[in-house]
């Protein structure tokens, strides 16, 4: 008998082998689509931004306080758009993070089962409302309301857009946070109650820290949504680039600028057209930064039960 003899009953089945390889390949292709899309977007952003930065020095882009690429005397400072983005996001997060967290704590630790089953889908419906609806809600309802309190508030402003955006983001924050809290094992809660803790103490001192990595992920998701939100700001915040940290003023965000320019009739390849990509790259880098931060937080605070 030859040394590397394999009995028929144990021999590798060729057909099964081929089937396995085909399935594996199909799964691989499916995974490639999302990776390829991301890589494609990044490549295009980088390539077009490269063309832009051939004509505009990076230093000017980062430090100039004017953003007027469509004027005859064009200036290309990203700061006004950045400030608009940051201020509107900050307003939104000041609404969404506290409210979202409180709602999550309530639903996970206090609400009776029946109420939670009803409240959660309704809350998630908030996230399903088209953002253009929120935009006009901010412009036509919230702004006039705010003007009763602050009569000098302009018709377009970051405050109203930010507040409404915050409401839109609440379900993203509360839903993911609540899932994280519900995943905390009952044994930990019982341990806390057995020490004589109240429900509130248990929720705050045991469940919340135990779910921290998931809650941090929820916050990061909220931040990414706020930074990337377009429609509400384009409609309700005005589209004038304005370097300000005051939410009571109108201003353009990076996304609002992109949508404004992309809808205009800029010739392909002009410097004005290239600004879209430079602004887009800035936005992508910001979101990337927050995602990396979120990933790091999750790894740092992850607990296995």
Partner 1 sequence: MVGTTAPEVSAAAAAGPAPVKKSESRNLNFFYGQFQALKDISMPIYEKKVTALIGPSGCGKSTFMRCFNRMHDLYPGNRYEGQIMLYPDNTDLLNRDVDPIEVRMRISMVFQKPNPFPKSIYENVAYGLRVRGHTRRALVDDKVEEALRSAALWDEVKGRLGDLAFNLSGGQQQRLCIARALATDPEILLFDEPTSALDPIATASIEQLIADLKEKVTILIVTHNMQQAARVSDYTAYMYLGELIEFDVTDTIFIKPKNKQTEDYITGRFG
Nearest approach, Cβ of residue 19 and partner 1 (Å): 44
| Closer residue to partner 1 (CB): 119 or 248 | 119
Decide if residue 198 touches partner 1 (CB under 8 A). yes
Q: For residues 177 and 214, is the Cβ–Cβ distance under 8 A?
A: yes
Q: Which span sits near partner 1 by CB under 8 A: 25-33, 164-172, 188-196, 275-283?
A: 188-196
Tokens representing 89? Answer: 């996001």
Q: For residues 214 and 221, is the Cβ–Cβ distance under 8 A?
A: no
Distance from C-alpha of 105 to C-alpha of 180, rounded to nearest angstrom: 10
Q: Which span sits near partner 1 by CB under 8 A: 27-35, 78-86, 160-168, 207-215?
A: 207-215
Distances (CA, A) of 212 to 101, 135, 175, 178: 11, 32, 14, 11
Decide if residue 20 touches partner 1 (CB under 8 A). no
Decide if residue 188 touches partner 1 (CB under 8 A). yes
Tokens representing 23? Answer: 């399935």
Q: Which span sits near partner 1 by CB under 8 A: 21-29, 197-205, 262-270, 289-297?
A: 197-205
Question: For partner 1, which residue of 19, 37, 65, 303 counts as binding (CB under 8 A)?
Answer: 303
| Closer residue to partner 1 (CB): 74 or 188 | 188
Question: For partner 1, which residue of 212, 257, 273, 277 counts as binding (CB under 8 A)?
Answer: 212
Q: For residues 252 and 81, is the Cβ–Cβ distance under 8 A?
A: yes
**To 10 degrees, what angle do helices 158-182 and 212-228 make?**
150
Nearest approach, Cβ of residue 86 and partner 1 (Å): 32
Decide if residue 183 touches partner 1 (CB under 8 A). no
Q: Where are the beta strands (DSSP E) in the chain?
A: none
Question: 3-state DSSP: the chain helix, strand, coil percent, rounded to 5?
Answer: 75, 0, 25
Of 90-129, binders to partner 1 (CB under 8 A) are 112-113
Q: For residues 289 and 263, is the Cβ–Cβ distance under 8 A?
A: no
Looking at the chain, the number of H-run helices and the number of E-run strands are: 14, 0
Tokens representing 77? Answer: 């400072």
Which 3-state string (H, E, C) describes 43-96?
Answer: HHHHHHHHHHHHHCCHHHHHHCCCECCCCCCCCECCHHHHHHHHHHHHHHHHHH
Question: For partner 1, which residue of 23, 129, 195, 292 counts as binding (CB under 8 A)?
Answer: 195
Question: For partner 1, which residue of 1, 10, 149, 194 counts as binding (CB under 8 A)?
Answer: 194
Please list, in sequence order, all residues whose beta carbon lies within 8 angstroms of the beta carbon of residue 22, skipping any fewer than 6 positions away: none
Q: Which span sits near partner 1 by CB under 8 A: 79-87, 193-201, 249-257, 270-278?
A: 193-201
Question: For partner 1, which residue of 17, 190, 296, 300 counts as binding (CB under 8 A)?
Answer: 190
Decide if residue 40 touches partner 1 (CB under 8 A). no
Residues in the interface with partner 1 (CB under 8 A) total 22
| Closer residue to partner 1 (CB): 26 or 183 | 183
Decide if residue 197 touches partner 1 (CB under 8 A). yes
Interacting residues with partner 1 (CB under 8 A):
112-113, 185, 187-198, 201, 205-206, 209-210, 212, 303
């Amino acid at each position: 008998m030859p040394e590397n003899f394999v009995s028929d009953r144990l021999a590798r089945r060729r057909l099964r082998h081929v089937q396995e390889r085909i399935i594996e390949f199909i799964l691989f292709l499916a995974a490639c689509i999302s990776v390829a899309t991301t890589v494609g977007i990044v490549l295009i952003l980088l390539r077009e931004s490269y063309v832009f930065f051939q004509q505009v020095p990076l230093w000017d882009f980062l430090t100039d306080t004017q953003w007027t690429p469509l004027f005859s005397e064009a200036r290309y400072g990203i700061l006004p758009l950045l400030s608009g983005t940051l201020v509107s996001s900050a307003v939104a997060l000041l609404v969404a993070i506290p409210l979202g967290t409180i709602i999550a704590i309530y639903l996970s630790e206090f609400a009776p089962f029946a109420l939670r089953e009803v409240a959660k889908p309704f809350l998630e419906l908030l996230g399903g409302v088209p953002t253009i609806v929120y935009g006009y809600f901010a412009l036509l309802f919230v702004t006039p309301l705010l003007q009763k309190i602050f009569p000098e508030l302009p018709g377009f402003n970051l405050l109203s857009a930010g507040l409404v955006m915050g409401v839109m983001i609440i379900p993203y924050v509360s839903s993911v946070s609540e899932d994280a809290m519900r995943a905390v094992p009952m044994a930990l809660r019982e341990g806390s109650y057995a020490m004589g803790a109240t429900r509130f103490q248990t929720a705050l001192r045991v469940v919340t820290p135990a779910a921290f990595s998931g809650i941090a992920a929820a916050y990061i998701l909220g931040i990414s949504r706020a930074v990337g939100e377009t429609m509400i700001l384009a409609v309700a915040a005005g589209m004038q680039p304005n370097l300000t940290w005051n939410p009571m003023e109108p201003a353009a965000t990076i996304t609002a600028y992109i949508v404004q320019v992309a809808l205009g009739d800029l010739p392909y390849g002009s410097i004005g057209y290239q600004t879209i990509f430079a602004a887009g790259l800035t936005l992508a880098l910001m979101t990337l930064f927050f995602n990396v931060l979120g990933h790091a937080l999750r790894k740092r605070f992850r607990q296995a039960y």
